[in-house]
Structure 1
Amino acid sequence: MTSFPPGGTWFDTIKRSFADVPIDAANDNGISTTEFLDASESLTTLFDLLGSKAFTPVKSDLLGNIKKVRDRQLAAPGESETLQALVLNELKTGKHVATEGLVWLVRGLDFTAQSLRHNIDNPEVELSNSFRDAYGNTLKPHHSFVVKPIFSAAMSATPYRKDFYAKLGDDNAKVQTSLEKEVKALEERVTILKSFQGRKEAQW
């Protein structure tokens, strides 16, 4: 069974693309919370295409952190229209559940973006190398010795490059264009959030 419509790509099937997540440039590059969480959820289904149970913990980790941020948004919708507002308003209450969840979510998305970027830019490299490389740069330094082997197993379980790209669509040019667009949009939003999270008022 294919995971994309005839003549289309897997990216046509997702609920929301990162390219459709608004950034309010006039308001401290505020990133719209609802759309960002929808796009993050959509991206987690990419791990299903990798076809290995080894990726279940990676996906679960992302979904768990999405839930922490969404729970805060549902509890205080008026204070959570952008991710930045959500964080600053939660920290004012003395709590940091969603704020910490967002830190981990951004790390997971950064890992995904770096994996895919490395693979786009290096057409001769297998996915496992791109994923392992990105894991070392993003999540690994923050993971405990218990979690590292679980994630390392996933990095080794990635399919061959050609098999993965075939699951994204049968027209390679379309797949590359869609993948580049999604990764570029993801990178832009991750960069904004990492910069924000590095600021003193966003920490606890």
Structure 2
Amino acid sequence: MPTYFDTIAMNFANVEVGPDGIETVQFLQAAEALSNMFTLFNSTAFSVVQSDINGNIKKLRERYDATGEKSRTIEMLVVNEQGEKNRTATQGLLWLNRGLRFTYVGLKHSYDHADSALSESFNISYGETLRAHHSFITRGVFSVAVRAVPHRASLLKSLGEPEDRVLQQLDEWLNALGQLTQRIDKFFETSDYAKGF
């Protein structure tokens, strides 16, 4: 029986990273697959994150469609947009990466701590990734959402069977996602092109 990871169009583990950076189209396809994963959880807890991720993917895709080869990689896309008044795609990448990082930290904590509740894993993740960037009202929304996440066993079952295969694929996917989000974080921290965000 195919697992979620067998059926997605692009896995983070297969996103190409070359001398010029992270391949834009592949990265966006993998991010879309992550967003679609939330629907498997049968929970409205992640609807805010899912909507945010989808909105930011749209901003990046529109920029890519408008500029093509100049935005072949995520880094080139940001460089290409630097001199413009409205840097919608750059801001979209920043927030997309924050949403991806939130998901990564939550699922990684759950993967590493099988005895912890999934809600605890995502509560820890929220504190580490998004909380500092949210208003008091948004923090309240997330607090309620995180408490409503499904149990870890339900999450794993929704990703397919057998569980040992799902866990192996999840580990590979998480490692790749973690490396990509770290690379983007570093780009924002060290690049003059990403200053001001």
Fold match (TM-score > 0.5): yes
Identity %: 40
Q: Is the 8 A contact 1:58 1:151 kept in 2?
A: no
Deviations 1:115-171 (A, max 9, x none): 111011111111100011001100111011222222222211111111111111221
Of 156, 166, 169, which residue of structure 2 is paired with 1:165?
Answer: 156
Of 108, 115, 132, which residue of structure 2 is paired with 1:117?
Answer: 108
Deviates further, 161-170 or 178-187: 161-170
CA distance in 2, matches of 1:160, 1:201: 41
Task: Classify the secondary structure of the residue corresponding to 2:136.
Answer: coil
CA RMSD of aligned residues (A): 1.1
Letter in 1 for 2:16: P
Q: Is the 8 A contact 1:16 1:38 kept in 2?
A: yes
Shift of 1:50: 2.0
* Structure 1, unpaired ranges of 5+: 1-5
1:88 aligns with 2:82: no
Q: Which residue does 1:146 correspond to in 2?
A: 137
Normalising by structure 1, report the TM-score.
0.92
Q: Which residue does 1:53 correspond to in 2?
A: 44
CA distance in 1, matches of 2:173, 2:160: 15
CA distance in 2, matches of 1:106, 1:129: 21
Q: Which residue does 1:12 correspond to in 2?
A: 6
Runs of 4+ in structure 1 off by over 3 angstroms are: none
Q: Is the 8 A contact 1:88 1:201 kept in 2?
A: yes
| Higher normalized helix content (fraction of residues) | 2
Q: Which residue does 1:99 correspond to in 2?
A: 90
Normalising by structure 2, report the TM-score.
0.95
Of 126, 130, 144, which residue of structure 1 is paired with 2:121?
Answer: 130
1:22 aligns with 2:16: yes
Q: Is the 8 A contact 2:41 2:154 kept in 1?
A: no
Q: Which residue does 1:3 correspond to in 2?
A: none
* Structure 2, unpaired ranges of 5+: none
CA distance in 2, matches of 1:163, 1:53: 14
The alignment covers a number of residue pairs equal to 195
